A = this chain, B = another copy of it.
Amino acid sequence: MATLEDIGVSALINILVAFAFLLAFALLRIQPINDRVYFPKWYISGGRNSPRRSRNFVGKFVNLNVMTYLTFLNWIPQAMRMSESEIISHAGLDSAVFLRIYTLGLKIFVPMTIVALLVLIPVNVSSGTLYFLRKELVISDIDKLSISNVHPKSIRFFVHIALEYLFTFWTCFFLYKEYGNVASMRLNFLASQRRRAEQFTVVVKNVPRVSGHSISDTVDQFFKTNHPDHYLCHQAVYNANKFAKLVRKRDRLQNWLDYNQLKFERHPDRRPTLKTGFLCLWGSKVDAIDYYKQQIKELDRRMALERQKIIKEPKSILPVAFVSFNSRWGAAVCAQTQQSENPTLWITNWAPEPRDVYWQNLAIPFVSLTIRKLIISLSVFALVFFYMIPIAFVQSLANLEGLERVAPFLRTVIELKFIKSFLQGFLPGLALKIFLYILPAILIIMSKIEGHIALSTLERRAAAKYYYFMLVNVFLGSIVTGTAFEQLHSFLHQSPAQIPRTIGVSIPMKATFFITYIMVDGWAGIAAEILRLKELVIFHLKNMFLVRTERDRERAMNPGSVDFPETIPSLHLYFLLGIVYAVVTPILLPFILVFFALAYLVYRHQIINVYNQQYESAAAFWPHVHSRIIASLLISQLLLLGLLSTKQAANSTPLLVVLPVLTLYFHKYCKNRFEAAFRKYPLEKAMEKDIKDKTTEPELDLKAYLADAYLHPIFQTFEVEEEELVQVRAVRVDKYQSHVDNEQTSNLSSPSSPHQVDHAASSANHHAYHPTSSPQYVYKTSSPPQYSDDPTFPSYYSYHYEAEP
């Protein structure tokens, strides 16, 4: 077990690492050459131009202004300057509410830390006067400050119970306030949004196939019958997954072609070549540029064929449709009601916003969804309970005795005092961290298999899985020795009353481990986040090999986004640790406070300057945040119950049993009061906005506005001729830019984004291809934007089709 000294060494290392990262960041960010790595958000929102234009040659790459080096820490006040409403309009509500989780953490834990340290440390330490006699039981110095130091049957435990009550009420108070705040922020945000396609659109799944009718006809007829006053039009969905694969392949080839062309431009004396065999290592040498050009041509031919197939084959129209209504009220009604007698047909839900749609999953047949869910839930169970085995192995190595046994030759090194401290303080946390690194990717894939059709839902589901994983493997797994499967086995053979005891009794002993974990993951990890080392390297590599034009450079920027599926569950772990250890080992709280403060600063900076959210869910994740903090409260109460029962403070049990009941009741109340704001769209609000719209824009052609909003994005690259390719890519960058805040990006939207939508819209009530009549569709990139004055027009879908009889 680690001593106070080990903790000290670990803290020192982590503080040094964190400072090194922060210093590196402070120095790198002021170099003009890195400007696009550290301020991409401003480039995207148009608020910043390359600083390299105005300077001399060296000044383009290195910052020669000495003054800026003296103020290199000014990113912190800069990050704090922006107000919350500015952040909302700058980066979206998701980001703003994400930051509120950190302030919530600070609000909860700052007073909690002060009270816990002032009250509990004296209680615990002074109690030790008796207990010190049995010194061998006091495992580390940290434990002298913890509840372990209190004598069994002591009356002092009532202090701990009182504080548990106080902390629970304190936390619930802030949770309630925050839930209310976030709910009203969400509603205000939705109310203040300009007109958007998803406000009028509902996604309908499992449309029944009626023989003799196309899916489009069926949809049209059904909604004309059942929503006669509100139905406007619909868009059919095509199974274009194969086509999308070809598009991706073509993009990849295009990249290689660009790379080779650039290479040739720089060294016109040597034409680039490549080998055609496996991994470009074997086979005959050919001219690279010609080879790729030919490959792309071949691919274009195949894409044209595939496109024909999609258009002609009625089966490629999926039994899914995006149905649009002439008012928000009509859409809200359709999304919230049951349409058909058979509840597994005509399932309606709010459509995700167009850039949030995960098109691939629309092709999943409805019947397989429940089976997929079953399989994935079993897999998640297996993952959660077996993933720990390798981690436990590594951790047993980090347990020095184990390491020496496995590798006796290392003994002399390990026995060095400093290295020993390092290993004990650093390695367990690091091992865990590395193993956790590849996990989110697995979980996202699992969520994709589950068949959710919105990226935001995918991420939330992945976050839920990640949370279970963290809870079982990181929290429980670190507390109870042995693999998770062994735990499961032993829990099954223990009484329910025994489990909290087993865990509770080892809680204080693991405080040192969690302190090192917080320092590695929370301090150094967060500092690494702001440095963006990976993105920095990749950007410069791309800059060197692929970038030809300014547009290419913009494309090479990878602003990234808040990684919700990973970040939010990690945050929950910190909440859990803080709440559990608040009464057990309060010395852990300052470490958590440092984490929350540092992470708040870092993420505030990143959200303002770097990240570019892919979608806007309007804080749809908050109910999960809330309920998992409640779960942390419940866990802490149960564990304290278990811990105290091993301390023979049994007469305290009734006092502690009341608390979970109250907490659950509080949770239920909050759910009733606030959750609907996140799941449904009240008719009152919908009507309000409808009326406002009607008065401000009485003769808007909504049908034209909605016509192409939900066209599969890959259909926009149809029929693009070779010479238009550069332009296409430029447009695609625009697509990328039309992000969270449409209002701000509108002035950037490319002049080539074309809209002759009104023609197409008026030509047919719905925009499906009729396989029977099979008309010729020509995809153009033409005409000036019609709705350029309307910033909410989905400019990311730049190409559209037009029917030619």
Contacts and interface: CB of A to CB of B under 8 A. Distances in A.
A337 B333 contact: yes
A493 interface: yes
Interface stretch (A193-201, A339-347, A430-438, A575-583): A339-347
A332 interface: yes
B672 A341 contact: no
B226 A684 contact: yes
Interface string A481-507: 000000000011111111000000000
Chain copies in the assembly? 2
Interface stretch (A279-287, A674-682, A723-731): A674-682
Contacts of A677: 341, 343
B374 A344 contact: no
A366 to B, nearest CB: 11
A687 to B, nearest CB: 5
A684 B370 contact: no
A179 B29 CA distance: 66
A336 interface: yes
- Give the most central of A332, A342, A674: most B CB within 10 Å: A342
Given A370-B672, A495-B493, A341 B187 contact: yes
Contacts of A493: 495, 497-498
A669 interface: yes
A339 B370 contact: no
A770 interface: no
Contact of A496 (B332, B337, B492, B683): B492
A336 B682 CA distance: 11
A343 B672 contact: yes
A418 to B, nearest CB: 46
A338 interface: yes
A665 interface: yes
Contact of A337 (B336, B672, B673, B675): B336
Interface in A321-377: 329, 332-333, 336-344, 346, 370, 374
A337 B669 contact: no
A94 B494 CA distance: 46
A668 interface: yes
Contacts of A497: 492-493
Nearest to A374: B665
Contacts of A227: 683
A338 B672 contact: no
A335 to B, nearest CB: 9
A275 B336 CA distance: 64
B682 A339 contact: yes
A229 interface: yes
A225 interface: yes
A349 to B, nearest CB: 14
Contacts of A676: 338, 343
Contacts of A684: 222, 225-226, 339-341, 346
23 contacts: A222-B684, A225-B687, A226-B684, A229-B229, A336-B337, A336-B338, A337-B683, A338-B676, A338-B682, A339-B682, A339-B683, A341-B677, A341-B682, A341-B684, A341-B685, A343-B673, A343-B675, A343-B680, A344-B672, A370-B669, A374-B665, A492-B497, A495-B495
Cβ-closest 7 pairs across A and B: A343-B676, A338-B680, A336-B337, A493-B495, A492-B497, A338-B682, A226-B687
